Amino acid sequence: MTDVREGRVLPVTDLSLVVLVGASGSGKSTFARRHFKPTEIISSDFCRGLVSDDENDQSATKDAFDVLHYIAGKRLAAGRRTVVDATSVQSDARRQLVELARRYDVLPIAIVLDVPEEVCAERNAARTDRADMPRRVIQRHTRELRRSLRHLEREGFRKVHVLRGVEDVETATVVTEKRFNDLTHLTGPFDIIGDIHGCSAELESLLGKLGYTDGVHPEGRTAVFVGDLVDRGPDSPGVLRRVMAMVKSGNALCVPGNHENKYGRYLKGRKVQHTHGLAETIEQMAGESEEFAAEVRQFIDGLVSHYVLDGGRLVVCHAGLPERYHGRTSGRVRSHALYGDTTGETDEFGLPVRYPWAEEYRGRAAVVYGHTPVPEATWLNNTICLDTGAVFGGKLTALRWPERELVDVPAERVWYEPARPLRSEAPGGQDGRPLDLADVRGRRVVETRHQGRISIREENAAAALEVMSRFAVDPRLLPYLPPTMAPTATSNVEGYLEHPAEAFAQYAADGVARVVCEEKHMGSRAVALVCRDAETARKRFGVDGPTGSLYTRTGRPFLDDDALTEEILGRVRTAIGEAGLWDQLETDWLLLDAELMPWSLKASGLLRSQYAAVGAASGAVLPGALAALEGAAARGVDVTGLLSRTRERSADAAAFTEAYRRYCWTTDGLDGVRLAPFQILAVQGRSLAGLPHDEQLALLDRLVEHDGSGLLQTTRRLYVDTADPQSVRAGVDWWLEMTGRGGEGMVVKPVGALVRDNQGRLVQPGIKCRGREYLRIIYGPEYTRPENLARLRSRFLNHKRSLAIREYALGLEALDRLAGGEPLWRVHEAVFGVLALESEPVDPRL
Amino acid sequence: MFLTITTTGTPEHPATELGFLLHKHPEKAQAFSTSYGTAHVLYPEADDRRCTAALLLEVDAVALVRRGKGKGRGGAPDAALASYVNDRPYAASSLLAVALSGVFSSAMKGVCNARPELPAVPRPLRIEVPALPARGGPALVRRLFEPLGWTVTAEPVPLDTAFPQWGDSRYVRLELESADRTLAEALRHLYVLLPVLDDAKHYWVASDEVDKLLRAGEGWLPGHPEQKLITSRYLSRRWSLTRQATERLELVRLAEADDSEVEEIDNAVEAETETEERPTPLAVQRREAITAALKSSGAARVLDLGCGQGQLVQALLKDPAFTEIVGLDVSMRALTIASRRLKLDRMGERQAARVKLLQGSLAYTDNRLKGYDAAVLSEVIEHLDLPRLPALEYAVFGAARPRTVLVTTPNVEYNVRWESLPAGHVRHGDHRFEWTRAEFRAWAQAVAERHGYGAEFVPVGPDDPEVGPPTQMAVFTLTTPKEAKAA
């Protein structure tokens, strides 16, 4: 045999279940090794060995095939081609494999190795482990194989390659074919057009509006039709002519709708009912030439049920498609793509009730489809239905991809009376439809663009579920939760546990040259979602009533009183308007990270039960104890050491009481309430988490300036160059001065906001340096005593730092998903992750 | 923490005899180390007429926290100890009680080797505890000490004089006076009653605690009118009960993150208090009404959504007509208690196969809840903020869609009939709303209409002609398999 001789070429689809059929000794394993990756091949012998330690133990066959089917199933579910290396000469064995392929919606392909019985016997004899295989076994295999050959296609194999004789087997080559639906290499840009139903005039005006001239776009865009070109409307032939020409010239793609499908069957002479507007098409086509009708028939026949486009980011089909069907090939995939799924019930109009697959959709690819007329095209879980009922007097809608812009033209008239009124099927974002528990429950891994995969443990998810369900604001108004923040490394400066020198040093080590020190406000963290008006809140966030939200670090409403919340939102809204930020940021809503003061507004329970209680107890007990000691001392009893210690204690306790009192003042309504915004997190279409802090603060200063109500408060700041000792000194002095007057401390942040170190790792977005007096509230009244400080210095920051980075990445992810208009469950997943991580065990004093 | 004991003298019994009784010399300051710091005994005044002994415990706060950390037995039962900001260095608690019994052990036993006759002599005593944490306030302090013959002065300590609106702290400045008392008795009263009033202990209560109580309470506890309260509080911190405290650590952290107290969010399981009404007949009536409604609906597979501590699940298990019972709650603590109540780990296989407890939330749709005959939401909806009720409605009636749904909720009109309920108050701190009969019916009928159910209403408990029953129940029955929802 020479290289020159060309053998058979066997096309094998890239995602398929390849079944090798041949007697023992026919060379299946050799063939498989030659043409497929080792990991693609599962052999029954190998599986026999797995379960019985003996590859030839026939008594293990049943278990071996269970294992084989299991592995094959896992591979197919993951979208990997699989080659089954077993004799498969019996129809029953093949039936199970065909079922397996169907279960995972891949093509079953048979490759038959029909090798003479003597050759098989000879080869087996040469193998020590098979030398004693009786000849009759091979005879039986061959007999069964011969019997099978005629039936393979009827058994369900979509491709059957039969190699006859040794030479055929040895010279054959396998070529991998892409699936017809795999157009991932096409990146568009696309204009995806909804159900037309013979509305030729509307189609022409839409194409014009989209920029097409005679079916060609000057920028080389591609139109994609979601099907249902025909029936009901006034000019189905005109629509077909236009679409077919565009497809033929490469300016368009088209997937079939159920109406084309039915018309195609009609054209092939099948018996179909002339209902749902088919009669109109037949009548209109009567005036067309035979030739055109033949072209139409061929066109419809060649349509592929759905397309996967743009690197897998976009799936287009007629009636929608769950993720497990994307890029798959089976009867039921085609049927879902054409008709969608139904619940088996019928509604009050006698029409089948559609199964709301889009509500459950969690896939990464956007699914663009039609089929179900809706009044408005809206995104739901990364899917969008473009059938806006043109033929029923609605409009014809297109989606620009990747721009995600909707373009539509109104119907010229009602061309066909709908059987039921147009309405939104999916109870989407607007009527309180909840998220699904499967999005948040149990151990989870969240994919983030800035920090890769972040895992959430089950017990933390359980705690977060409780808080999220029982206490948090509506998830639609909870698009973000702030991350925890690590404190500065422990200082060794005498009398101090935290000192800014450490923070500057840490950023210098991370390669961050410029940092901003921002005053830490003496209040509670608050996130504010402020919409321009109730209409924006309704349209963008799907809530009726509130114009935004104001919530705490764990997502709870900051204030119990909704009216007061609205008043705060109103004041911020006015300031945003006055400052011109709506226009400058091109947005109708703003998400703000802020501090709300006083602390006593929210933490009054804790203040009273813990902080004030300690103050009260110490105040009640220490004067008496001092008096007793002084009495004893006056009598000449030696209590010197104890007396001076108790005096210090008394001073420490007084300092503690002073410390917490600074965070308390009385408020009445909004009188006395202050809000200090320190970051604009996101606006329409954009996360601002990466906006440098100097620019952030400039925006926020303008906001505060334009607040006439006295609610908003500015954040004092100082910029420090971490490499310049003089600048660092100034930063330290600033902190000393501020905390010396009782300030809470400051947060040091890289000016660049979202920064990576020289090894590419995310840098802490902020490091807090808390004031010496403030820390009494954290570490107790007497923490400054040298013996206490010495012990408290052994604190472990690594876990807190890692937690801070993980929560930060999840927060960034939530903002990116929010800004990208991703479905609520995707935003909620990241937000829920932050809350869950907050319940991880870490020293709460850090 | 600090207390003083003062006595006055007579010619026969000079006041300084207190030194003999306490076994501590009045002219010296003595120090004793205890596990959480140093106890000092000193006498601010000591002459024949009047003698005062002071016990001052210097608590090492940092050591207290570091020891108190961690899960399980390594940690402390009292959550407050895990915080550096806690009142233990100042307030008279079990730490002081333990110091008292350690430093004055012979006095407490009534033993005095030098003057064996002294302990039995009653004398005037005055005890001052300037910061006594007292759950139950001055009133309970009086109820505990007055029956023992003490003249009690108990003044509440204000929380913060700078913020008078905050009111009083839980501390009481206590003075006890008696003309004729033995010191041993007085010390034993304090030893038992200080931690009882504080209602917390810094150590895990072991089985010998009962013996300790019996010894210290000898002669006075058996006849005490508050004996039950004293005993139950004294022995309250048993391991098996307090283990729950460690099971809610994750929630503790979420509360801390928000500067709030854990009780604020971990309130799914009602704390057992003396004032709480024992399982009311109403709860029993509710379960009977629910069971009857379920039976008449013919349901076999039942969801108890918001099952809490599993009382209903337990009741349903007794009826073999219910072949599968699923209890769902969002609170892990409630589920743990339910699991213990049902003894799930010891249940026979066949029984255990009938029951399942799941953590879940009705704020989300949940595929696990599909395909059941009936769902019960007993006293659940009122624990949700009103704006989040539509989510529950969709999860139950739109997504899970059992054939029968039972919803019970308090009838707020009936609240005027509860004698113990102050006017305008809801029945439970976590109730976000309570509805009148008209409000409940309006909601239920709207829900029924939106989702293709019929609704009927059943009173639970005595149906008052004026204000109706204490509990109202709606029985929803699926009428159309799946009515398309109006936009």
In this predicted structure, what is the pLDDT of residue A508?
A: 95
Tokens encoding B400: 């899970």
Instruction: Verify cis geometry, omega within 30 degrees of 0, for the bond prior to B124.
Output: no
Instruction: State yes or no: pLDDT of A36 exceeds 50.
Output: yes
Q: Are A575 and A653 in a shared domain?
A: no
Instruction: State yes or no: pLDDT of A407 exceeds 70.
Output: yes
In this predicted structure, what is the pLDDT of residue A180?
A: 94
- Taking the C-alpha atoms of residue B450 and residue B93, their distance in angstroms, rounded to an integer, is 58
Cα–Cα distances (Å) from A23 to A45, A91, A153, in that order, read 13, 13, 19
Mean pLDDT computed over A280-284: 94
Q: Are B206 and B304 in a shared domain?
A: no
In this predicted structure, what is the pLDDT of residue A348?
A: 63
**SS3 readout for A425-489:** CCCCCCCCCCEEHHHCCCCEEEEECCCEEEEECHHHHHHHHHHHHHCCCCHHHCCCCCCCCEECC
CATH of the domain at A268: 3.60.21.10
Q: Are B43 and B100 in a shared domain?
A: yes
Q: Are A208 and A151 in a shared domain?
A: no
Please check whether residue A710 lies inside any domain of the structure: yes
Q: Are B176 and B311 in a shared domain?
A: no
CA angle, A65 then A71 then A73, to 5°: 100
Instruction: State yes or no: pLDDT of A747 exceeds 90.
Output: yes
**Nearest-CB residue to A463 (from B162, B254, B258):** B254
**Nearest-CB residue to A353 (from B83, B332, B484):** B484
Please check whether residue B141 lies inside any domain of the structure: yes
Please check whether residue B251 lies inside any domain of the structure: no
CATH of the domain at A78: 3.40.50.300
* B74 close contact with A: CB closer than 8 A: no
**Nearest-CB residue to B85 (from A424, A630, A780):** A780
The pLDDT mean for chain B works out to 85
Q: How close A641 gets to chain B, by Cα (Å)?
A: 11
Asked whether the beta carbons of residue B482 and residue A469 sit closer than 8 angstroms, the reply is no
The pLDDT mean for chain A works out to 91
Mean pLDDT computed over B355-382: 94
Please check whether residue A826 lies inside any domain of the structure: yes
Residue of A nearest to B256 (CA): A844
Domain that holds residue B107: 2-236
Mean pLDDT computed over A660-675: 90
Residue A192 host element (H or E): strand A190-193
The answer to whether the pTM exceeds 0.80 is: no
Q: Are B216 and B323 in a shared domain?
A: no
* B414 close contact with A: CB closer than 8 A: no
How would residue A431 be classed by pLDDT, with cut points 50, 70 and 90?
very low
Q: A82-85 and A107-114: which strand pairing?
A: unpaired
Please check whether residue B106 lies inside any domain of the structure: yes
- Taking the C-alpha atoms of residue B308 and residue B268, their distance in angstroms, rounded to an integer, is 7
Q: How close B264 gets to chain A, by Cα (Å)?
A: 9
Please check whether residue B268 lies inside any domain of the structure: no
Please check whether residue A638 lies inside any domain of the structure: yes
Q: How close A612 gets to chain B, by Cα (Å)?
A: 6
Asked whether the beta carbons of residue A840 and residue B253 sit closer than 8 angstroms, the reply is yes
In chain B, which residues have their Cβ closer than 8 Å to the Cβ of A628?
2, 4, 42, 44, 52, 54, 56
In chain B, which residues have their Cβ closer than 8 Å to the Cβ of A551?
none
Mean pLDDT computed over B215-227: 88
Instruction: State yes or no: pLDDT of A841 exceeds 90.
Output: no
In chain A, which residues have their Cβ closer than 8 Å to the Cβ of B170?
613
Instruction: State yes or no: pLDDT of B67 exceeds 90.
Output: no
In this predicted structure, what is the pLDDT of residue A5?
A: 53
Number of other CB atoms surrounding residue A840 within 10 Å: 20
Domain end marker among B236, B266, B301: B236
Cα–Cα distances (Å) from A575 to A534, A670, A711, A825, in that order, read 17, 16, 10, 31
Number of H helices, E strands in chain B: 17, 15
- Taking the C-alpha atoms of residue A251 and residue A800, their distance in angstroms, rounded to an integer, is 56
- Taking the C-alpha atoms of residue A579 and residue B22, their distance in angstroms, rounded to an integer, is 75
Mean pLDDT computed over A704-731: 95
Please check whether residue A505 lies inside any domain of the structure: yes
Q: Decide which of B242 and B304 is more confident.
A: B304
Asked whether the beta carbons of residue A613 and residue B486 sit closer than 8 angstroms, the reply is no
Please check whether residue A418 lies inside any domain of the structure: no
* B137 close contact with A: CB closer than 8 A: no
In this predicted structure, what is the pLDDT of residue A4?
A: 47
Q: Are B227 and B292 in a shared domain?
A: no
Please check whether residue B223 lies inside any domain of the structure: yes
Q: Are B11 and B90 in a shared domain?
A: yes
Asked whether the beta carbons of residue B265 and residue A635 sit closer than 8 angstroms, the reply is no
Q: Are A527 and A517 in a shared domain?
A: no
Q: How close A660 gets to chain B, by Cα (Å)?
A: 11
Residue of A nearest to B359 (CA): A462
Asked whether the beta carbons of residue B258 and residue A553 sit closer than 8 angstroms, the reply is yes
Q: Are A779 and A812 in a shared domain?
A: no
CATH of the domain at A707: 3.30.470
- Taking the C-alpha atoms of residue A780 and residue B476, their distance in angstroms, rounded to an integer, is 56
DSSP-assigned letter for residue B105: H
Q: Are A721 and A767 in a shared domain?
A: yes
- Taking the C-alpha atoms of residue A334 and residue A321, their distance in angstroms, rounded to an integer, is 9
Mean pLDDT computed over B122-145: 94
Please check whether residue B335 lies inside any domain of the structure: yes
**Nearest-CB residue to A437 (from B56, B360, B482):** B360
In this predicted structure, what is the pLDDT of residue A141?
A: 92
Q: Are A235 and A127 in a shared domain?
A: no
Please check whether residue B242 lies inside any domain of the structure: no
Residue of A nearest to B366 (CA): A437
CATH of the domain at B77: 3.30.1610.20
**Nearest-CB residue to A467 (from B45, B254, B366):** B254
Please check whether residue A415 lies inside any domain of the structure: no
User: Of the given ranges (A92-96, A731-735, B209-213), which has the lowest mean pLDDT?
Assistant: B209-213
Domain end marker among A119, A142, A177: A177
In this predicted structure, what is the pLDDT of residue A428?
A: 38
Instruction: Verify cis geometry, omega within 30 degrees of 0, for the bond prior to A189.
Output: yes
Q: Are A516 and A610 in a shared domain?
A: no
Asked whether the beta carbons of residue A617 and residue B169 sit closer than 8 angstroms, the reply is yes
**Nearest-CB residue to A469 (from B45, B363, B482):** B363
In this predicted structure, what is the pLDDT of residue A444?
A: 87
- Taking the C-alpha atoms of residue B160 and residue A616, their distance in angstroms, rounded to an integer, is 6
Domain end marker among B203, B236, B269: B236
Q: Are A334 and A475 in a shared domain?
A: no
In this predicted structure, what is the pLDDT of residue B87?
A: 85
- Taking the C-alpha atoms of residue A732 and residue A515, their distance in angstroms, rounded to an integer, is 13
Q: How close A99 gets to chain B, by Cα (Å)?
A: 26
In this predicted structure, what is the pLDDT of residue B82?
A: 56
Please check whether residue B483 lies inside any domain of the structure: no
Q: Are A300 and A207 in a shared domain?
A: yes
In this predicted structure, what is the pLDDT of residue B205?
A: 61
Tokens encoding A736: 């000393």
Q: Are B295 and B370 in a shared domain?
A: yes
How would residue A112 be classed by pLDDT, with cut points 50, 70 and 90?
very high
Residue of A nearest to B69 (CA): A843
In chain B, the number of structural domains is 2
Q: How close B487 gets to chain A, by Cα (Å)?
A: 6
How would residue B369 be classed by pLDDT, with cut points 50, 70 and 90?
very high
Q: Is residue A392 within 8 Å of A249, Cβ to Cβ?
A: no
In chain B, which residues have their Cβ closer than 8 Å to the Cβ of A474?
387-388, 391
In this predicted structure, what is the pLDDT of residue B219?
A: 86
**pLDDT tens across A242-281, in order?**
999 999 999 999 999 999 999 999 999 999 888 889 999 9
Residue in A353, A433, A470 to test binding to B, most B beta-carbons within 10 Å: A470
Domain that holds residue A842: 439-490+795-846
Residue in A614, A629, A795, A843 to test binding to B, most B beta-carbons within 10 Å: A614
Mean pLDDT computed over B340-353: 85
Q: Are B210 and B347 in a shared domain?
A: no
**pLDDT tens across A460-504, in order?**
999 999 999 999 999 999 999 999 999 999 999 989 999 999 999
CATH of the domain at B458: 3.40.50.150
Q: Are B188 and B321 in a shared domain?
A: no
Q: Are A527 and A581 in a shared domain?
A: yes
Q: Is residue B171 within 8 Å of B91, Cβ to Cβ?
A: yes
* B249 close contact with A: CB closer than 8 A: yes
Please check whether residue A462 lies inside any domain of the structure: yes
**pLDDT tens across A183-226, in order?**
999 998 999 999 999 999 999 999 999 999 999 999 999 999 99
For the beta sheet containing A717-721, the strands, ordered from the edge strand earlier in sequence to the opposite edge, are A486-487, A767-770, A745-750, A514-519, A717-721
* B401 close contact with A: CB closer than 8 A: no
Place of tokens 């005679």: A214
**pLDDT tens across B143-171, in order?**
999 999 999 999 999 999 999 988 999 99
Please check whether residue A576 lies inside any domain of the structure: yes
Residues with Cβ < 8 Å from A702, sequence gap 6 or more? A579, A580, A581
Structure ipTM: 0.82
Asked whether the beta carbons of residue A782 and residue B61 sit closer than 8 angstroms, the reply is yes
CATH of the domain at A504: 3.30.1490
In chain A, the number of structural domains is 6
In chain A, which residues have their Cβ closer than 8 Å to the Cβ of B90?
614, 617-618, 620-622, 653
Q: Are A703 and A739 in a shared domain?
A: no
In this predicted structure, what is the pLDDT of residue A359?
A: 78
In chain A, which residues have their Cβ closer than 8 Å to the Cβ of B46?
635
Q: Are A512 and A536 in a shared domain?
A: no
In this predicted structure, what is the pLDDT of residue B316?
A: 95
Q: Are B289 and B421 in a shared domain?
A: yes
